[in-house]
Amino acid sequence: MKKRVAIIGTAGIPARYGGFETLAHHLVKNLGEHYDFKVYCDGTAYAKSERQTYWQHARLYYLPLKANGLQSIFYDIFSMIHALFTADTLIVLGVSGGIFLPFIKLLSSKQIIVNIDGLEWKRDKWNRMARWFLKFSEKIAVKYSHHQVSDNAKIQEYVEQEYGLVSQLIAYGADHCQRENLEAEDYQNYPFLANNYAFKVCRIEPENNVHKILAAYSKMPDQTLVVVGNWANSEYGKKLRASYVDLKNIYMLDPIYQATTLNKLRANCSLYVHGHSAGGTNPSLVEAMYLKLPVLAFDVGYNRATTRNQGVYFKNEEDLKSKITGLNQQKRQEIADMMYAIASEHYTWQQIASQYSRLIHEAGYSHKNIIINQEQLAEVHD
């Protein structure tokens, strides 16, 4: 009989956008034949006409709540309550609902795997009270789970220093990203494709240093920058768009949810600028690496850990300008080749799925620090 596994904390599958959604999507896709998956979905993100009862062997449940923001606390808790009756193992992505985990352990023998995410309480967008709550919820989630997953070596170091536990280091896959052939219509819709340009896709938030990147390119009119993001979702984004919308060398595009279109734009750039300063292993970074792009990343430990310290890094606006002008074509190609080599070795979904499979299999036995290879996965499933 298959072990029943609930995935909690995502907006749902099939994935449209977001790291946790993509993770859930590929766990089900790679492991759906081996486990009986239950996935909880944000009912506000999927129209009734789009909702499916099953996807890739997974049973989908839709909640009338949002998976993000304040509602994520109740979204996760209600998912956990339902999972008490439908699953043996709970994979909880994020710590918003961590305060409910003690009740799960008190009321049942369910096995709990928590992906800590990227230290959500440190993000600039939260006020003091929200940060306190998220830090407290993180502490509870770590204490009352059987296995803790860190997606980045720096997060793993933090968990060990803060809580005295060795968490499982499991990142994200990127091999779902493929290069797409350009067509005449693409050049008409996106004229910048005909020339060299830098590219960035992200949520438009201060911690992603969009303001620094835009400021740097505003002073380099001979360099083209394309940024895809949710400009209209915050005052920060609206002000940035208003400030730079008239510049001819900067294109500020709204979110692109079609993977084919997004891959066409980023796979054909001459430089990928990654400004994230918070979180762990950012999916957009590993995806750029797998697409064999030269990466210029903000200089923080998370990004250095993801790129194995083999990228080029910038600290501020002036440093970014200096690094851009100093990267000739040969150097860019060397970086791109190195990024692809790292991504091919460490960031494939089969490898990521196998690591989660071992945790599911081992859940409840001990707090072992286990990372497995493909041969071990075959043994688990035999």
* Pairwise CA distance, residues 234 & 189, whole Å: 26
pLDDT tens, residue by residue, 270-313: 999 999 998 789 999 999 999 999 999 999 999 999 999 999 99
pTM of the model: 0.88
* Pairwise CA distance, residues 28 & 40, whole Å: 12
Strands (E), the chain: 4-8, 36-42, 54-55, 58-63, 89-93, 111-115, 147-150, 168-169, 198-201, 225-228, 250-253, 271-274, 295-298, 312-314
- Give the type of residue at 347: Y
Which one-letter DSSP state was computed for residue 287?
Answer: H
pLDDT at 133: 87
Q: How many residues does the chain have?
A: 382
pLDDT tens, residue by residue, 14-25: 987 778 999 999
Q: Give the mean pLDDT of 98-113.
A: 93
pLDDT at 128: 84
Question: 3-state class of 41 per DSSP?
Answer: strand
pLDDT at 38: 97
* Pairwise CA distance, residues 310 & 296, whole Å: 10
Q: Give the mean pLDDT of 78-103.
A: 95
CB atoms within 10 A of CB 271: 23
Domains and CATH numbers, the chain: 4-173+348-381 (3.40.50.2000), 184-346 (3.40.50.2000)
Residue 150 in this model has a pLDDT that exceeds 70:
yes
The pair of structure tokens assigned to 66 is: 């949002």
CA dihedral 240, 243, 248, 253 (to 10 degrees): 30
pLDDT tens, residue by residue, 153-202: 999 999 999 999 999 999 999 999 999 899 999 999 999 999 999 999 99
Residue 365 in this model has a pLDDT that exceeds 60:
no
Q: What is the mean pLDDT of the chain?
A: 90
